[in-house]
Amino acid sequence: MKDKLIWHKVLDNKSDLADGRVISVVAGKKQIALSNFEGKICALDNHCPHQGGPLGEGSIENGILRCPWHGWDYHPCTGKVPDFDDGVDTYPVEERDDGIYVGIAEEEPHETTLSDIMAETMVNWGVDTVFGMVGHSNLGLADAFRRLDKADKITYIGIRHEGAGAFAASAYGKLTGRPAVCFSIAGPGATNMYTGMWDAKVDRAPLLALTGQVATQVVGTGNFQEVDLVRAFQTVADFNHRVQKDSRHTELMSLAVKHALINRDVSHLTFPDEIQRIPAGDVSSSTADGRIGKRAISPDPDSLREAVELIRGSKRPVIIAGHGARFDMSEIIRLAEQLNAPVLTTFKGKGIIPDNHPLAAGVLGRSGTPVASWFMNESDLLVVLGASFSNHTGITPKKPIIQVDFDPLALGKFHKIDVPVWGELKTTVELLIKSLKGFKDTVDQRPEITERRKIWHEEKLKRLQEDRGKGVSAITIIDALSQIADEDAIICVDVGNNAYSLGRYFESRKQDFIMSGYLGSIGFAMPAAMGAWAATKGQRQIIAVAGDGGFAQYMAELSTSVKYRMNIKVILFNNAELGKITKEQLSGELEVFATDLVSPDFAGFAKGCGALGIRSEKNTDLSGDLEKVLNYNGTALLEVITDPLLL
C-alpha cells in the first residue's frame, strides 16, 4: 500500500522561481529544495547526506545542484549524484492553476520520546512555566515543550536573552515558592543563564535549569559550542546531572524538581542532542504522589523553651522579618500583636506587612527609614524570622537575639545568636503564640510607632518640596507611585539608587516586592517583571522600577513583553549615570570615573517595540504621566528624567 500523499502549496506561481534557481521551502514539516531546471519545477529533500547542508541555499552550475557547505553535487530533479547510485529523496510536484504543490507522505503519529516523558514529569510536579530560547542543541526538548504548550499544560515564553530567562525564573520562584524553568542551548546559551541561576541560589528561590548539549559522542573533543555544563554549574546547582541513554529518566526529572522545592535551590539537567529524540518505549511519566512529606518542622523543645523564656523577660521586643517570612506573615502578625512588638522588615521583605498596620515600623537598613532603626536601637530583644543578617540590613548583634530559620546553616551564620531555633517559621511561630498565651508584660509600643512615623512623614514632606530644576526627584516619583499603584501590585526593583529610594519612600499596602537580594545584580527588574507576570497569569498589576543603567542591560525584553501581551509597566529613572557607583566613588574619596551614560530615547524605544512610551521631565507632569502608563492596557514605559542628587 502506497503512502497517502498530502499536497502542500509551496509557491504561488511558477514565475516566482527563475529558471536555473533553487530555494528552500517548507511542505508540512519537510524542508524542500525547490528548483526550476530547464523549465521544470523539481523538489528534493533539502538535507545533503554529508552534514545536512541546506541544498536550497546552493546553486545550479552546469546542470548540477551544488551543496553550499562542501560542494557535493546532485541532479536538481533526480537527486542522483553524478557517477554514483546514491543521492537524495525526490518528491512529486504538481503545477496547478493557483500555484505549485509538493506531495509529502502523510505524517506518522508522534512517538513519545524521552524528552516528552521528562517534560510531562516536570509538569506533574507542578512546574508550569518555561522561559527559554530554542536552538540547534535543544530542539528535541523544545518540541516536547511545544506539545505541552499547545495542550495548555505549560506556558512557554521565548525570551531574547538567556540571562533574562534565568532572572525571570528566579523571580517566579521568589514570588511563588515554586520553580519555573530557564531553558537554553549548549555553550553560550547555557553560560548566559549563570548569573540568574546564582541570583536564585543566594536568595533561596527554587529554579530548574534545563540545557541542551552537544552529542555525547563528541563531548570532550572541543566540538562547536561544547562546554562541560555539569562541571560549569557544579557550584551553582544543588542537583546537577547530565541525562544519559540509560538514565532513569523520569526519576531524574522528579529528583531535580524535588531538590529545587525542598532545598529552595537550583537544579540543573543537561540533555545531549541525541538523547532528546530517543523513543521512550513503554516508560511513562512520573508524578509527585507520595514523594514529598509535610514540611511542618517543629523546633527542638529546649530551643523553644529558651526562646519563650527570653521573650517573657523582655519589655520592648521587636520582630525583624525577612524575605523568608513572606508566606507566614499572618502568624507573625498575630505574634506581634500578642507582644505589642513593632515589626521591622529587611529590604527583601519590604511589603510583607502593610506600612499602615499599627505595628509596622518599615524597612531596616541602608534602604530603610529612621523609624525602623529607632525601634531596633530602643529594643531589649530582637526576634529575627526568615532574615539573613545581611550587611545592608544591619541587624545589630549588640541586642539579645532569637533567630528562627528552616535552614540550620543560616542560624548564627555571621555571629553568635542567643537562641538559635531550627524550624519552619509557621510551625514555630504558632508554638510561640501558644506558649506565650496570657503573657502581657511588654510595653505597648503602638503610640511610639505613630509618633516616629509622624516625624518621618514630616521629613518626607520637606524632601518633596525640593526642586533644583534639573529633573524630577526620586521621592516625587516614589510618592506618586505609592498613591497610584494598585493595592496588590507586584513591584520588581532593580539595583541602584532607584532601589534605595523605593525602599525608603514607598508606602506599601498589600504589594509584593521582588529584587535581586544577596547577588544584587543590575538588570534584574525587567526580566523579573516577566517572571511575576507569568506567575500571576496577568491577574495583578506588574511594575518594574529600574534605572537607565539596569534597564539597558535587558531592554530587548520589552519586545518579549509586547509579544506575549504582558501588562508590564516600567518606571525608568533616567539620570544619565550609574548614580549609586558615583556615590560610592565619592564616599571613598575617589575621582568619579566611567559612570556617565549615553542612552537612547527610552520612551521612543518603547514605541518602537509596540509598547506605550512616555517621557516625563517635570514634577508637575509626573502624576498625570504615571496614571496614563499604569492605566494602559498593555506594556508601557514611563521614562522620567531625574535629578541624581535628589534621592
Q: Give the pLDDT confidence of 252-295 residue by residue, as tens digits.
A: 999 999 999 999 999 999 999 999 999 999 989 999 999 988 87
* Cβ–Cβ under 8 Å, residues 65 and 58: yes
Instruction: Tell me the C-alpha distance between 40 and 77, whole Å.
Output: 8
Pairing between β-strand 207-213 and β-strand 266-272 as defined by DSSP bridges: parallel
CB 142 within 8 A of CB 134: yes
For residue range 147-189, list pLDDT tens digits in order. Answer: 999 999 999 999 999 999 999 999 999 999 999 999 999 999 9
Phi, psi of 638 (to 5 degrees): -110, 115
Region(s) of the chain under CATH 3.40.50.970: 114-275, 466-641
395-420 pLDDT per residue, tens: 999 999 999 999 899 999 889 999 99
Which run of H or of E encompasses 271?
A: strand 266-272
Alpha-helical (H) ranges within 417-547 are: 425-435, 446-464, 474-484, 497-505, 525-536
Dihedral of the alpha carbons of 528, 534, 540, 543, in degrees to the nearest 10: 20
Write out pLDDT tens, residues 119-158: 999 999 999 999 999 998 999 999 999 999 999 999 999 9
Nearest to 424 by CA among 444, 404, 409: 404
Closest by Cα among 461, 482, 480 to 642: 480
pLDDT for 2 equals 58
Architecture of the 466-641 domain: 3-Layer(aba) Sandwich (3.40)
**What is the rounded CA–CA span in Å between residue 53 and residue 72?**
10
Closest CA to 68 of 60, 76, 78: 60
Give CATH for domain 5-105.
2.102.10.10
Q: How many CB atoms lie within 10 A of CB 77?
A: 18
CATH architecture for the domain at 301-447: 3-Layer(aba) Sandwich (3.40)
Residue keyed to cell 498596620:
357
**Which is more confident, 440 or 190?**
190
Q: Residue 517 and residue 200: Cα distance in Å, rounded?
A: 9
Classified as helix, coil or strand, 477 is: helix
Residue range(s) occupied by CATH 2.102.10.10 in the chain: 5-105
Give the predicted TM-score (pTM) of the model: 0.93
Instruction: For residue 71, give every residue at least 6 positions away whose Cβ sits within 8 Å of its Cβ, in sequence order, or none.
Output: none
- What confidence tier does 1 reach under pLDDT thresholds 50, 70, 90? very low
Q: Where are the domain boundaries for CATH 3.40.50.1220 in the chain? A: 301-447
Stretch 31-50: mean pLDDT? 94
- Residue 647 confidence (pLDDT): 84
Please give the Cα distance from 467 to 643 (Å, whole number).
Answer: 9
Say if CB 196 and CB 516 are below 8 A apart.
no
CATH superfamily of 114-275: Thiamin diphosphate (ThDP)-binding fold, Pyr/PP domains (3.40.50.970)
